[in-house]
Amino acid sequence: MKFINHNGKPFTFNLELLKYLGPGFLVTVGFIDPGNWATNIAAGSEFNYSLLWVITLSTLMLIFLQHMSAHLGIVTGDCLSESCRKWFPKWVNIIFGGSIMIACIATALAEFLGASIGLTILFGFPLYLSAIISGSFILALVTIQKYDTIEHIIISFVSVIGFCYLLELYLVGPDWVQAARAAVMPKIGSAEIFIAMGMLGAVVMPHNIYLHSEVIQKRNYTATDEKRKRQLLRYEFLDTLLAMGTGWLINSAMIIVAAAVFYKHGVLVKDVVQAAETLRPLAGNLAELLFAVALLCAGISSSITACLAGGTVFTGFLGKEIDAQKIWFRGGVLITAVPAILLIMILKNTYMTLIWSQVILSIQLPLTIIPLIILTRSRKVMGRYANGRFENFLMYLCGGIIIFLNILLLLSFFGVSFEF
């Protein structure tokens, strides 16, 4: 297909690219999950638009880190967990593997909880019953075990979520000038750091970094010549860029809606169900319905990716074949899903559970980024596709920012005040 560019010269759009779209969206739904709902609602209702920059910064880091993860999978044919087992000592892999499994469970807790809350809002079921219904349905979807089918389901859910929030933005009428300014002007203090780190963990999710390096291999990303390999790597980057950009828009919309509705009316949200109920008198019945539908779709779709990540990580670190039909993979799925469902039935404060689950992810992030840096910069591992100086600089920058923010979070726990 040919078009005319601004110089009046024709250029070609390669329709083959469309065949390679999908893995990025499978990963993206993980950062428009119920954990994002809780942290973004908290950010908007407590701090107005001021933390929008966290979403912008986190998404930029996410695009690069997910690209590096996919790059590793395409070049080596191994996912991140397989590469860790292959190149690191056993005691190091115990730390990396153990921490990422905890992160997968924390992720699944947020995802299953969100789906359950969505069901409760829509149909009035008790939360424990919603957890059983949604958990059973999600595990049934995971057993499909066909990545292309799951990708289509995920993209459909992402479309519904995006449509719901587009209508929400129309209904609430936000201050776009203030929102645009906050999206690019960083400001952080001891009062905001806990919520900001929850937002960071909800966007740059460690289980997604592991999952991307595996699902990218389910597409035909193999090549025998140099030119074809580089073309496929460009396709992967465009898929990642488009998918993560969509996620940035939806996450930003969550904060903007919360700021325009809750902060504007002085409502401090302490519960996701409360958020939905409060929308009704402030923004109308349709706003509440759209909120619940979007939350349910986000919970179901992101729960699928959390379970897939758990199975991938579990089998990869054990050195077993990553095959969805094998017992080890299914064991990893159950280890991820069952504790999450049980915890939903025990824990009382669902809102803080969602936020804390995302903070756990931000704390684990350095233990995911460190092996990714080491592996992708190594010529022994990556050959001619090893990171150059610029890629290494960006990797160190991402890791440094995340570690610095974690230090600020730790200081806040000890009552240290700061403002930047």
Residues 6+ apart with CB under 8 A from 74: 216, 217, 221, 229, 232, 233, 236
User: Are β-strands 2-4 and 10-12 bridged in parallel, bridged antiparallel, or unpaired?
Assistant: antiparallel
Q: How many residues does the chain have?
A: 420
d(CA 188, CA 193): 7
17 has pLDDT over 60: no
Q: How confident is the model at residue 148 (pLDDT cuts 50, 70, 90)?
A: low
Work out the average pLDDT over 214-225. 64
The encoded tokens of residue 326 equal 């094998």
CB-CB contact of 320 with 326 (8 Å): yes
4 has pLDDT over 50: no
CA distances 365 to 84, 200, 231, Å, are 15, 10, 30
**What percent of the chain clears pLDDT 90, i.e. is strictly above it?**
31
Is pLDDT larger for residue 161 or for residue 67? 67
Work out the average pLDDT over 201-228. 75
> Which structural domain range is residue 356 located in?
29-413
d(CA 340, CA 333): 11
Mean pLDDT of the chain: 82
104 has pLDDT over 80: yes
**What percent of the chain clears pLDDT 70, i.e. is strictly above it?**
83
Is the residue at 20 inside a domain?
Answer: no
Is the residue at 299 inside a domain?
Answer: yes
16 has pLDDT over 70: no
φ/ψ (deg, to 5) at 2: -115, 140
d(CA 278, CA 257): 12
358 has pLDDT over 50: yes
Is the residue at 296 inside a domain?
Answer: yes
Is the residue at 17 inside a domain?
Answer: no
φ/ψ (deg, to 5) at 419: -150, 130
Burial class (CB in 10 A: 0-12, 13-18, 19+), 224: exposed
The encoded tokens of residue 97 equal 């593997």
Helix (H) / strand (E) element for 3: namely: strand 2-4
Q: What is the pLDDT of residue 152?
A: 67
Q: What is the pLDDT of residue 255?
A: 93
Q: What is the pLDDT of residue 173?
A: 85
Residues 6+ apart with CB under 8 A from 86: 78
The model's pTM:
0.83
Q: Which residue has the tokens 């440094």?
A: 400
Name the domain count of the chain.
1
316 has pLDDT over 90: yes
d(CA 15, CA 201): 35
Lowest-pLDDT range of 180-194, 216-230, 333-347: 216-230
121 has pLDDT over 60: yes
Q: What is the pLDDT of residue 312?
A: 93
Is the residue at 251 inside a domain?
Answer: yes
The candidate with the shortest Cα–Cα distance to 373, out of 32, 28, 96, is: 96
Is the residue at 189 inside a domain?
Answer: yes
d(CA 82, CA 304): 21
CATH classification at residue 281: 1.20.1740.10
Is the residue at 322 inside a domain?
Answer: yes
Q: What is the pLDDT of residue 396?
A: 92
Q: How confident is the model at residue 55 (pLDDT cuts 50, 70, 90)?
A: very high
183 has pLDDT over 90: yes
Is the residue at 10 inside a domain?
Answer: no
226-277 pLDDT, tens digit per residue, is: 676 677 677 777 888 888 888 898 889 989 988 998 898 888 877 776 666 6
Give the CB-side neighbour count of residue 137, counting CA atoms within 13 A. 16
